[in-house]
Amino acid sequence: QVYLEESGGGAVQAGGSLKLTCVDSGRTFSRRAMGWFRQAPGKEREFVATLMLSGGNKYYADSVKGRFTISRNSAKDTVYLQMNSLKPEDTAVYYCAAGSPILSALRNPSAYRSWGQGTQVVVSS
């Protein structure tokens, strides 16, 4: 099993920054990627960013490219999402995910096997 726990959410004003943390405390199954998704009220869960654990390739949604950065501390089994220049439309519950998606499915939530409980991010204008 993989146990993912997110933290770091909160409320900020537009233009502000937050850093989300995801700790992977399980790791009994092999997974090739860890990523972040988000879900706003009344909307479907959407892809934000993914990091390939072998090779370190990173992929971002167009809506966050240049503002968000995904990174990893492998020694601590932790993945981060640094979010800068936040906008009100970034308001959502942010989820950490782990899995082994094929390249064409990186942005598909169903391609990820394990999920955290989520952390709320609220950006006010």
Residue/partner pairs of 55-63 with CB below 8 Å, 24 or more apart: 59/106, 59/107, 61/107, 63/89
Mean pLDDT of 97-123: 94
- Statement: residue 65 has pLDDT above 90: yes
Mean pLDDT of 42-62: 95
Structure confidence at residue 76 (pLDDT): 79
Tens of pLDDT, residue by residue over 8-38, are 999 999 999 999 999 988 765 678 899 999 9
Q: Would you call 66 helix, strand, or coil by DSSP?
A: coil
> In whole angstroms, what separates CA 70 from the centre of its chain?
8
Percent of the chain with pLDDT over 70: 96
Edge-to-edge strand list for the sheet holding 18-24:
4-7, 18-24, 78-83, 68-73
Q: Would you call 103 helix, strand, or coil by DSSP?
A: helix
Higher pLDDT, 29 or 103: 103
**Pair of tokens at residue 117:** 């409980």
| Alpha-carbon Rg for the chain in angstroms | 13
Structure confidence at residue 55 (pLDDT): 86
